[in-house]
Structure 1
């Protein structure tokens, strides 16, 4: 478990650009050290804003896209190509414009596909895909039991919702109490669509680095709550942390209810 470090930027545009630069550096370093990199993407305006900023960065070609594994932290359980799916939005923001190896882009199952409308079966299939990748040699980092059955994610990104939810783990939702499975079907989510697939804390906490993204005034209370010592059942963002590093990347609006003593000035 790593203590959270906060970095606050002037506005959401600068935050997206700086986060993209940070991600490029992290991926390049991981590829240099281990031959490949593994990143978990998040959706929403901040996750997609980061991907768009990465796509427009002249440094994006420093990444060997063919040696990058992409996963998702959660997904809306909707048909393939639905504009509300996180993978659809990620493709539009960046993925369709870079030379990824399609076999290393691990999208979550779609509704109406191989698992029909069964989100629990879809979650179990994604968990097995994670376990297969872990068994192939990209196992959990030191300090995490090998039965965690997830790859050693270099970076796992999470958007923070106004209610403090991360991935599709909502306050007081039963999915927060899952300790055995790495992926779950989420039913009755408090925001549409109600049916989703999500990583659990068990999978999230196996990542080397967890980055929480929050920008905008509507995220200020969530950031203040999660960083004030609230429990993870009431504030799921408080329960998201990485093994080596936990970064909160915010803009000034999202940090407006935090005491300045908590965060450091933004740096490239």
Structure 2
């Protein structure tokens, strides 16, 4: 297993290059398979990648299924909804033809929807291309350091999708290690010195204390100042 670290001169070059790499890997997979899957993070950091990716004409988006790493348990029009950002930046233009598995179902609680979401995600595994992010606290998806939920989500026998209620803001839903670790192609996008320092620190810690550590096997890290 190898971690490849790619440093870019600026964030614009990072976004253009990473979008091209993702499109290429999806297209290559579709040459030998009927469908492909793309799993991406929320937040504003990957938005420039999504903007570029959504305009890719060489990719048959109608054969691609998109879903998030995780989601806050809020309506899709809520300002903090990851799905809202995704619809505005990725699921538009040429990429509007992609299928989308929305992790927010409208159920009263995320735990009420977890089993059905696992069934919805399962046909698209292993993930063809997985894009991850990381927080300054070394969390990824909604797997946060030091929580009992993260310990369960990192277990080899964890369900594919789990509810997360240990964070201070909204309840969340997240894909777990068994869903994320088996991706065919895995990328991590980080920007700025703080995220780079967090990644370096994570490599010295246990995954329960630095959840991104669980995914630093065969992975390409894309970084710009």
CA RMSD in angstroms comes to 1.8
Q: Is the 8 A contact 1:77 1:109 kept in 2?
A: yes
Distance 1:99 1:202 in 2: 27
Runs of 4+ in 1 over 4 A off after TM superposition: none
Unaligned ranges ≥5, structure 2: none
The one of 171, 176, 179 equivalent to 1:200 is 176
> How many Å apart are 1:204 and its aligned residue?
0.8
The one of 70, 73, 80 equivalent to 1:84 is 80
The one of 111, 117, 133 equivalent to 1:126 is 117
Q: Is the 8 A contact 1:75 1:86 kept in 2?
A: yes
> How many Å apart are 1:99 and its aligned residue?
5.0
Alignment of 1:108-257 (within 5 A): 108-110=103-105, 113=106, 115-116=107-108, 118-131=109-122, 133=123, 151-178=125-152, 179=155, 180-190=158-168, 193-227=169-203, 229-241=204-216, 245-251=218-224, 253=225
- Rg larger for: 1
SS in 2 for 1:61: coil
Alignment of 1:19-58 (within 5 A): 19-55=18-54
Distance 1:50 1:174 in 2: 33
Q: Normalising to structure 1: TM-score of the pair?
A: 0.77
In the alignment, is residue 15 of structure 1 matched against residue 6 of structure 2? no
Q: Which moved more, 1:23-32 or 1:122-131?
A: 122-131
Q: Is the 8 A contact 2:149 2:166 kept in 1?
A: no
> How many Å apart are 1:241 and its aligned residue?
4.4
